[in-house]
Amino acid sequence: MSKYYLNYLDELESEAIYILREVWAQFQNPVILFSGGKDSIVVTHLAKKAFFPSKIPFALMHVDTGHNFPETIRFRDDLITSLGVRLIVGSVQESIDTGRVAEEKGKNATRNALQITTLLDAIEGNKVDCAIGGGRRDEEKARAKERFFSHRDDFGQWDPKNQRPELWNLFNGKHFEGEHFRAFPISNWTEMDVWNYIKRENIEIPSLYFAHEREVVWRNSSWIPNSEFLQLDGSEKIETKKIRFRTLGDITITGGIESDADTVEKIAQEVAAMRQTERGNRSDDKRSETAMEDRKKQGYF
Amino acid sequence: MLDNNQLLRFTTAGSVDDGKSTLIGRLLYDSKSIFEDQLEAIENTSKQKGHEGVDLALFTDGLRDEREQGITIDVAYRYFTTPKRKFIIADTPGHIQYTRNMVTGASTANAAIILVDARHGVIEQTKRHAFIASLLQIPHIIVCVNKMDLVDFKEEAYNKVITQFEEFSSKLLVKDVRFIPISALLGDNVVNRSENMHWYQGAPMLHTLETMHISSDINKVDARFPVQTVLRPQSEQYRDYRGYAGRVASGVFRKGDEVTVLPSGFTSKIKSIDVNEEELDEAFAPMSVSITLEDEIDISRGDMIARSNNKPEPRQDVEAMLCWLHNDPAKPRAKYTIRHTSNEQKAMIKEVIYKIDINTLNRKPEDIQLGMNDICKVKIRTTKPLLVDAYRENRTTGSFILVDESTNETVAAGMVV
């Protein structure tokens, strides 16, 4: 066999770097949407590689729901300092305080849907014309239809049935004033690819991904962490379990799985043997069959 | 999974009636790429719809309208991995905006799977699929003769399809065509070898996809490097660094190579090839790297670096096959933005030479209206020369898109003749 071929991880990396550079070339003020989760960490790592020896030319934008894992915020701040990039925070609490959105009520209340308004306000307020996300097409069925360069109208909405065709490696980021784009450099990666890449590149990730002892409650078929925001009903009780998180979202909705995987190698092995999708532990996706599509149309990540 | 495993992209052509969704569902299911919660969701939906057993076709439904109407609207991408390769499927719908979607899915594919119903043989739609696959120069075509269970797994039915297909594909430019008799519904020759067709000596579909040679799918001869952006770090340590960032479109570049920068024509030597903090001796397609040169030359986005003894011809008049992708028809002599590699210019469709009837493959020189899903041969003139190669030889430097400036929509895909 010829030596001139790339393995799958190199090819995915090369594609992602190409897209990040294309974003930089085609837009005036792009940002990376940074959640503190592994996917946005990988995108940030790729951006570092894409522009080295220059610094990452994008600010990181974090939509802060106020319902964070403290570990995530610490991780974010350390990363910002080490990369020397600017951080933009959009605060859901502020959106609530200023009456832009109203808090959900009841035991299953989350701030997940409220983020949409905060995100769109932050995009508009900072004159962002392209928000780079860590979304992957294998995550969810609506995301399987997502473009690398995904257009949003001046209300921030996605029109999945009327997307621009994307051919070869030619991306069209042209837009009118007030509209913006979302760009997804790791569209073609799967959860397994992400873990194999984290392992190969030795990328630092928040401790929450590794197995640890934590106070949790069993709800909607996963272990929801105890926090100041958790409301218990009569039948639920707090237990201590050794768990880890497969995805990171709000502390109120991110369910953990029981696990002993405390290294990236062990996590990669565990993920390879998994029989459930990673978003299976996210109660935000369980609300309806098309929960993700509905949120995405409105402007969600 | 081994670290040197390759990535293979393939597209599936066919309509719901050919069993395309069932085939993809079968492939994912038998290769154990479906998760329990996905399977559970599909089982529930199958029950609600009153289907017997699990309807594997439901795995490929995505959007709300698609689930409600039982059709696929847009290209969807699926992923699976075997111990031998990682696969990306561009699942293109059979009904609405067929050509537009298949052209999109085909543009990056290594292989096309064309489904033929064993009962009906090669029909107009099959010819359309094969034509688009050849137009887009998909390197490998696998014709899956499906529903073999409905023709009692008889070899004659399979042979008939081969004869029919070869009869008309001789007129097309296809390099590698294989035939496999399958039953997507029952799983014969998809992942597992069929127990019902001992007369078939070839490999099942998955094994074929896992082992076909794809390293030569990209042009490794003509070195082309379109510059995406220039890296000029502000730090003390790299004060003199000037890196040309881009993705090798084709061929191989080595440190010390004599190169010419186009369109300026200045020559220099490659000083270094960098990725992150690593310095490489060579870079080949499709690697993303940063190249530095021995001499200070004015280079910016849209320029191309090529080896001095093998350069693309700068051309202002280009003949191309154009596939129209938008509801608004082409406006005669209107100006469009043309995007070719990292270069962007104004362009005009000067002449429509003929339209292709994609059902008969006949050329129609009298029909020169360009509407949605039409494929035409055209003459294009650009404001400044493009650095093109023939699409047949180079899928990256031979392709372009047209953007309508009044709507910003991508309206056409072009392949340089």
Task: Calculate the alpha carbon distances from B101 to A120, A145, A177, B83, B347 in Å.
Answer: 30, 12, 29, 30, 24
- According to the model, what pLDDT value does residue B280 have? 96
Interface touch B286/A141, C-beta < 8 Å: no
Tokens of A168: 């070869």
Longest C-alpha distance within chain A, in Å? 65
Min distance B291 CA to chain A CA atoms (Å): 12
- According to the model, what pLDDT value does residue B118 have? 95
Stretch A171-186: mean pLDDT: 95
- According to the model, what pLDDT value does residue B97 have? 62
Give the strands of the sheet with A59-64, arranged side by side. A87-91, A59-64, A30-33, A130-132, A180-183, A149-152
- According to the model, what pLDDT value does residue B125 have? 83
Most B-contacting residue of A8, A130, A150, A200 (CB-CB within 10 A), to test interface: A8
The minimal CB distance from B241 to the residues A12, A53, A289 is found for A53
Tens-place pLDDT, residues B200-209: 999 999 999 9
Q: Is the pLDDT of residue B96 over 60?
A: no
Q: Is the pLDDT of residue B226 over 90?
A: yes
Spatial distance between the Cα atoms of B111 and B138, rounded to a whole number of angstroms: 6
Spatial distance between the Cα atoms of B23 and B31, rounded to a whole number of angstroms: 12
Residue with tokens 């409600």: B68
Spatial distance between the Cα atoms of A262 and A242, rounded to a whole number of angstroms: 10
Interface touch B35/A280, C-beta < 8 Å: yes
Spatial distance between the Cα atoms of A33 and A251, rounded to a whole number of angstroms: 18
Spatial distance between the Cα atoms of B406 and A257, rounded to a whole number of angstroms: 51
Task: Calculate the alpha carbon distances from B98 to A85, A145, B9, B129, B372 in Å.
Answer: 45, 16, 19, 10, 10
Please name the residue of chain A whose CA is at the shortest distance from the CA of residue B86.
A8
- According to the model, what pLDDT value does residue B42 have? 74
- According to the model, what pLDDT value does residue B175 have? 82
- According to the model, what pLDDT value does residue A1 have? 38
Task: Calculate the alpha carbon distances from B154 to A133, A258, B127 in Å.
Answer: 51, 52, 23
The minimal CB distance from A275 to the residues B3, B35, B233 is found for B35
Compute chain A's Rg from CA coordinates. Answer: 19
Confidence tier at B70 by pLDDT (50, 70, 90): low
Tokens of B176: 């590698």
Q: Identify the residue with better confidence: A220 or B167.
A: B167
CA angle B14, B17, B20 (to 5 degrees): 45
Interface touch A53/B5, C-beta < 8 Å: no
Q: Is the pLDDT of residue B3 over 90?
A: no
Tens-place pLDDT, residues B313-346: 899 999 999 999 999 999 877 889 999 999 999 9
Work out the number of other CB atoms within 10 angstroms of the CB of residue B329. Answer: 13
* HSE-up (13 A, CA, CB side) for residue A95: 25
Tokens of A220: 């909607």
Estimate to the nearest angstrom the gap between the alpha carbon of B188 and the chain centroid: 27
Stretch A122-135: mean pLDDT: 95
Spatial distance between the Cα atoms of A206 and A2, rounded to a whole number of angstroms: 39
Phi/psi of residue B49, nearest 5 degrees: -85, -5
Q: Is the pLDDT of residue A245 over 50?
A: yes
* Count of all residues that appear for chain B in the document: 417
The minimal CB distance from B288 to the residues A1, A17, A54 is found for A17
The ipTM value here is 0.93
Interface touch A168/B107, C-beta < 8 Å: yes
- B135 touches B145 (CB < 8 A): no
Contact list in A for residue B252 (CB cut-off 8 A) is 4
| Highest mean pLDDT out of A223-227, B103-107, B411-415 | B411-415
Q: Is the pLDDT of residue B94 over 80?
A: no
Min distance A88 CA to chain B CA atoms (Å): 22
Interface touch A161/B287, C-beta < 8 Å: no
- According to the model, what pLDDT value does residue A27 have? 97
Q: Which residue type occupies A49?
A: K
Please name the residue of chain B whose CA is at the shortest distance from the CA of residue A141.
B62
Q: Which residues, 6 or more positions from B141, have their beta carbon under 8 angstroms from its beta carbon?
A: B111, B112, B114, B130, B133, B174, B176, B177, B178
Tens-place pLDDT, residues A74-106: 999 999 999 999 999 998 888 888 888 888 887
The minimal CB distance from A137 to the residues B77, B247, B290 is found for B77
- According to the model, what pLDDT value does residue B210 have? 95
- According to the model, what pLDDT value does residue A252 have? 82
Q: Which of A138, A140, A141, A158 is nearest to A149 (CA)?
A: A158
- Which stretch of A109-118, B111-120, B142-151 has the lowest confidence by average pLDDT? A109-118
For residue B324, the surrounding DSSP H or E stretch is strand B313-324
pTM of the model: 0.92
- Using DSSP, state whether A52 is helix, strand or coil: coil
Spatial distance between the Cα atoms of B123 and B168, rounded to a whole number of angstroms: 11
Contact list in B for residue A200 (CB cut-off 8 A) is 3
Stretch B113-136: mean pLDDT: 91
Spatial distance between the Cα atoms of A226 and A238, rounded to a whole number of angstroms: 7
Stretch B146-168: mean pLDDT: 95
Tokens of B230: 């220039």
Min distance B321 CA to chain A CA atoms (Å): 14
The minimal CB distance from B233 to the residues A2, A54, A168 is found for A54
Stretch B253-275: mean pLDDT: 96
Stretch B340-363: mean pLDDT: 92
Estimate to the nearest angstrom the gap between the alpha carbon of A11 and the chain centroid: 22
Spatial distance between the Cα atoms of A21 and A29, rounded to a whole number of angstroms: 13
Rounded mean pLDDT of chain A? 88
Q: Is the pLDDT of residue A240 over 80?
A: yes
Q: Is the pLDDT of residue B98 over 50?
A: yes
- B74 touches B101 (CB < 8 A): yes
- Using DSSP, state whether A79 is helix, strand or coil: helix
Rounded mean pLDDT of chain B? 89
- Strands (DSSP E) contained in B210-264 are 224-231, 243-247, 252-254, 258-262
Buried b (16+ CB within 10 A) or exposed e, B217-241: bbbbebbbbbbbbbbebeeeeeeeb
Tens-place pLDDT, residues A7-53: 999 999 999 999 999 999 999 999 999 999 999 999 999 999 999 99
Burial class, A172, CB count within 10 angstroms (exposed 0-12 / middle 13-18 / buried 19+): buried
- According to the model, what pLDDT value does residue B126 have? 87
Q: Identify the residue with better confidence: A229 or B85.
A: B85
